[in-house]
Amino acid sequence: MARLGPNGGAMPGQLRHLRFVLDRERQEVIMYSDDVMMVPAGAEPGQFGVPVGGGACRDYSNVQNGSLVCPSVHPPVSEMHLRVVELVVWPEASLEVRCWHRQNIGSPALGLKDSEVPPLEDQIRIAANILWQQAIQTERKAAVQWEDSWGFLRAERQDVPGALAHSSSAGNLVDTEGMSRSQALMGLRLNVPRDRFRKPASTQQELGWRQPLERGGLRFNYGLKHDDGIWPLADIAPWPARAAHMAVPLPDGARISMRRNGDIWTCVPWPLREHLQPHVPQLPGALVDCRHEAEVSSFAEQLLLQPHAARMGNAAARGEKVREAYIKFFVDKKKHDFVQSSPVVPLSDPTLLFANAGMNQFKPIFLGQLEPNSPLQGVTRAANSQKCIRAGGKHNDLDDVGKDVYHHTFFEMLGNWSFGDYFKEEAIDWAWELLTEVYGLDEERLYASYFGGDEELGLPEDLEAKELWLRHLPESRVLPFGKKDNFWEMGATGPCGPCSELHYDRLGSRDAAALVNADDPDVIEIWNLVFMQFFRGDDGRLTELPNRHIDTGMGLERVTSVLQDMRSNYDTDIFGPLLAAVHDLVGGEPYEGRVGADDVGMRDTAYRIVVDHARTLTMAVADGATPSSEGRGYVLRRILRRAVRYGRSKLDAPPGFFSKLVPKVVESLSPGFPDLTKAAGERVQGILQDEEVAFDRTVDRGMQFFDGLKAELEKEGAKVVPGDQAFLLYDSHGFPLDLTEQMALESGLSVDIAGFEAAMEQQKERSRAALREQQAQEQGLRPLQLVAEQTAWLSDEKIPVTDDLKKYTWNIRPSARVEAIYTQQGFVNSSAEIKDQSASVGIVLNTSPFYAEAGGQVGDLGLLTNEDGEELMKVKVVQVFAGYVLHVGPMPVTCAVGDEVFCEVDYEHRSKVAPNHTMTHVLNWALREVLGDGLDQRGSLVTADRLRFDFSYEASSGVSVADLEKVETLVQKTVDAGLPVTSKEVALADAQAIYGLRAMAGEAYPDPVRVVTVGSPIEEVLQSPGAEKWRAQSVEFCGGTHIATTSEAKHFVLLEEKGIAKGVRRIFAATGAVAETALEEAQRVEKRMNELESSSVEEDALMALQKDLDSLVLPAVPKSQLRDRLGELRKQLKKKQKKKKKGKVSKEEQAAALTELKEAVAEAKSLGKNFCVKTFQGAGVDGKSLREAAQGGEFDIAVMVLNQPSPKALECLAAVPEALQSEKAAGKWVQAALATVGGKGGGQAAFAQGAAKGVEEEALQVAAEAARNF
pLDDT, tens digit (0-9, with 9 covering 90-100), for 1050-1059: 999 999 998 8
pLDDT at residue 150 greater than cutoff 90: no
Residue 679: CB atoms within 10 A of its CB come to 10
The pLDDT of residue 1152:
82
- CA-CA distance, 4 to 259, in Å (whole number)? 10
**Rounded-to-10 torsion of CA 879, 884, 890, 896:** 170
- Pick 954 or 1232 by higher pLDDT: 1232
CA 463 to chain centre: 37
Q: How confident is the model at residue 1102 (pLDDT cuts 50, 70, 90)?
A: confident
What pLDDT digit, counting tens, does each position of 850-880 carry? 999 988 899 999 999 998 889 999 999 999 9
- Of 239-243, 1143-1147, 1222-1226, least confident by mean pLDDT is 239-243
What pLDDT digit, counting tens, does each position of 136-149 carry? 343 333 333 333 22
pLDDT at residue 314 greater than cutoff 60: no
Q: Which of 1-15, 500-514, 737-751, 1198-1212 has the highest mean pLDDT?
A: 500-514
The pLDDT of residue 228:
30
The upper half-sphere exposure of residue 592, i.e. CA atoms within 13 Å in the direction of its Cβ, equals 25
Q: Which residues pair with 186 in a beta bridge?
A: 99, 148
- CA-CA distance, 198 to 189, in Å (whole number)? 17
Q: Could you tell me the residue ranges of all domains in the chain?
A: 1-16+232-305, 319-367+376-571, 576-695, 782-905, 1153-1269
The pLDDT of residue 348:
67
Is 921 one of the annotated binding-site residues? Answer: yes
What pLDDT digit, counting tens, does each position of 981-1035 carry? 999 999 988 999 999 898 876 677 888 899 999 999 999 999 999 998 999 999 9
Position 645, amino acid: R
Long-range interactions of 215-218: CB distance < 8 A, separation 24+: 215/175, 215/522, 216/88, 216/90, 216/175, 216/507, 217/88, 217/89, 217/90, 217/91, 217/96, 218/88, 218/89, 218/270
The percent of residues above 90 in pLDDT, for the chain, comes to: 39
Query: Cβ neighbours of residue 361 under 8 Å, at least 6 residues apart?
Result: 339, 342, 355, 386, 1004
Cβ-contact 877, 889 below 8 angstroms = yes
- Pick 1068 or 212 by higher pLDDT: 1068
- CA-CA distance, 140 to 959, in Å (whole number)? 67
Query: Residues 461-473, buried b or exposed e (16+ Cβ, 10 A)?
Result: ebeebbebbeebb
List the CATH code of the domain at 1153-1269.
3.10.310.40
pTM above 0.85, yes or no: no
Residue 45 DSSP one-character state: T
Long-range interactions of 9-16: CB distance < 8 A, separation 24+: 10/260, 10/261, 10/263, 12/291, 12/292, 15/265, 15/290
Cβ-contact 370, 362 below 8 angstroms = no
pLDDT at residue 368 greater than cutoff 90: no
- Of 798-812, 919-933, 1202-1216, least confident by mean pLDDT is 1202-1216
Q: What is the DSSP string of 73-100?
A: -SS-GGGS-S-EEEEEE-TTS-EEEEEE
- Pick 650 or 1097 by higher pLDDT: 650
- CA-CA distance, 582 to 651, in Å (whole number)? 9
pLDDT at residue 539 greater than cutoff 80: no
Among 557, 564, 210, smallest CA distance to 409 is for 557
pLDDT at residue 451 greater than cutoff 50: yes
Once rounded to an integer, what is the mean pLDDT over residues 1154-1168? 87
What pLDDT digit, counting tens, does each position of 787-819 carry? 877 888 898 899 999 999 999 999 999 999 999
The pLDDT of residue 1205:
81
Task: Give ∠ CA 612-617-623 in degrees, rounded to 5.
Answer: 130
pLDDT at residue 133 greater than cutoff 50: no
What pLDDT digit, counting tens, does each position of 476-522 carry? 999 999 999 999 987 777 889 999 999 999 888 889 999 999 988 88
Cβ-contact 7, 227 below 8 angstroms = no
pLDDT at residue 366 greater than cutoff 90: no
Helix axes 678-716, 723-733, angle to 10 degrees: 160
The helix/strand count (H/E) of the chain reads as: 28, 46
Torsional sign, CA 671, 673, 679, 681: negative
Cβ-contact 1215, 1195 below 8 angstroms = yes
- CA-CA distance, 1265 to 385, in Å (whole number)? 41
Helix axes 576-586, 603-622, angle to 10 degrees: 110
What is the pLDDT of the chain when averaged over all its residues?
74
Q: Which residues pair with 188 in a beta bridge?
A: 97, 146
Q: How confident is the model at residue 1139 (pLDDT cuts 50, 70, 90)?
A: low
The pLDDT of residue 32:
31
Once rounded to an integer, what is the mean pLDDT over residues 688-698? 86
Position 38, amino acid: M
Residue 113: CB atoms within 10 A of its CB come to 11
Cβ-contact 1062, 640 below 8 angstroms = no
Q: How confident is the model at residue 350 (pLDDT cuts 50, 70, 90)?
A: low
The pLDDT of residue 1126:
86
Among 1243, 312, 350, 182, smallest CA distance to 781 is for 350
- CA-CA distance, 310 to 316, in Å (whole number)? 8
The pLDDT of residue 1261:
83
Once rounded to an integer, what is the mean pLDDT over residues 58-65? 32
pLDDT at residue 207 greater than cutoff 80: no
Give, in order, the Cα–Cα distances in Å from 29 to each of 48, 174, 287: 12, 21, 13
Exposed (0-12), middle (13-18) or buried (19+): which is 847, by Cβ within 10 Å?
Answer: middle
- Pick 1229 or 55 by higher pLDDT: 1229
Cis-peptide into 271, omega within 30 deg: yes
What pLDDT digit, counting tens, does each position of 69-92 carry? 333 222 222 222 223 333 333 333
- CA-CA distance, 664 to 670, in Å (whole number)? 10
The pLDDT of residue 48:
29
Once rounded to an integer, what is the mean pLDDT over residues 428-444? 94
- Pick 30 or 362 by higher pLDDT: 362
- CA-CA distance, 636 to 652, in Å (whole number)? 22
CATH architecture of structural domain 782-905 = Beta Barrel (2.40)
Q: What is the DSSP string of 1115-1143?
A: -HHHHHHHHHHHHHHHHHHHHHHHTSPP-
SS3 637: helix
pLDDT at residue 932 greater than cutoff 60: yes
- At residue 1241, φ and ψ (nearest 5 deg) are -170, 180
Q: How confident is the model at residue 772 (pLDDT cuts 50, 70, 90)?
A: low
Rg (CA), the chain: 37
- Of 245-259, 325-339, 1157-1171, least confident by mean pLDDT is 245-259
Q: How confident is the model at residue 1137 (pLDDT cuts 50, 70, 90)?
A: low
Long-range interactions of 345-352: CB distance < 8 A, separation 24+: 345/620, 345/623, 345/624, 345/625, 345/632, 345/1002, 347/1000, 347/1002, 347/1003, 352/393
The pLDDT of residue 1079:
93
- CA-CA distance, 473 to 447, in Å (whole number)? 8
What pLDDT digit, counting tens, does each position of 240-257 carry? 222 222 222 333 333 333
Among 1174, 1202, 1167, 1193, smallest CA distance to 1246 is for 1193
Q: Which residues pair with 454 in a beta bridge?
A: 459
Domain 319-367+376-571 in CATH 3.40.50.10800: no
- Of 8-17, 318-327, 793-802, 1205-1214, least confident by mean pLDDT is 8-17
The pLDDT of residue 1172:
94
Q: Name the pairing type of β-strands 263-266 and 257-260.
A: antiparallel
- CA-CA distance, 888 to 824, in Å (whole number)? 12
The pLDDT of residue 1002:
66
The pLDDT of residue 1145:
61
Query: Cβ neighbours of residue 769 under 8 Å, at least 6 residues apart?
Result: none
Per-residue H/E/C for 301-364: CCCCCCCCHHHHCCCCCCHHHHHHHHHHHHHHHCCCEECCCCCCCCCCCCCCCCCCCCCHHHHH
- Of 108-122, 889-903, 1163-1177, least confident by mean pLDDT is 108-122
Is 17 one of the annotated binding-site residues? Answer: no
- CA-CA distance, 739 to 695, in Å (whole number)? 15
Cβ-contact 141, 166 below 8 angstroms = no
Q: How confident is the model at residue 1153 (pLDDT cuts 50, 70, 90)?
A: confident
- Pick 976 or 1219 by higher pLDDT: 976
- CA-CA distance, 134 to 139, in Å (whole number)? 9
Equal CATH topology for 319-367+376-571 and 782-905: no
Q: Which residues pair with 378 in a beta bridge?
A: none
Give, in order, the Cα–Cα distances in Å from 1262 to each of 1013, 1181, 1232, 1268: 43, 19, 11, 10
